[in-house]
Amino acid sequence: MKDKYDFSKGVRGAVVDSNGKTRITIFLDDDVLAGFRERAAQSGKGYQTLINETLRNSLSPESAPLTAETLRKILHEELRVV
């Protein structure tokens, strides 16, 4: 081990390229994490991958909750066609 090291040419920042991902710290309930780990063991995927997929799916417009207003609009359109 050297007595001194020269860091004058060192660069600050991530050592590994992010490849479109960001490392964060997040607190999840123990039972939620246990559920994802259990699903991961059954599916052969990593639990973090399953959490990411779940979050991605929740952002899609198709996953938005069905509201009474939307249901009325759909029924109105369908009943008008018949």
Q: Going along the chain, which residue ranges are E strands?
A: none
The CATH number of whichever domain residue 55 belongs to comes to 1.10.1220
How far is C-alpha 64 from the geometric centre of its chain's CA atoms?
Answer: 16
Give this prediction's pTM.
0.59
> Which residues constitute the domain of residue 38?
22-62
**Is 52 a domain residue?**
yes
Question: How many helices (H) does the chain have, and how many strands (E)?
Answer: 3, 0
**Is 70 a domain residue?**
no
Q: 1: pLDDT confidence band, cut at 50, 70 and 90? A: confident
Cα separations (Å) of 27 from 32, 52, 67?
10, 14, 30
Residue 7 has pLDDT above 80, yes or no: yes
Count of structural domains, the chain: 1
- Give 11-28 pLDDT, tens digit per residue: 887 677 778 888 889 999
**Is 7 a domain residue?**
no
- Give 14-72 pLDDT, tens digit per residue: 677 778 888 889 999 999 999 999 999 999 999 999 999 999 998 988 877 889 998 99
HSE of 79, CA atoms in CB hemisphere, 13 A = 6
Instruction: Identify the pLDDT of residue 82.
Output: 58
Spatial neighbors of 54 by CB under 8 A, at least 6 apart, are 36
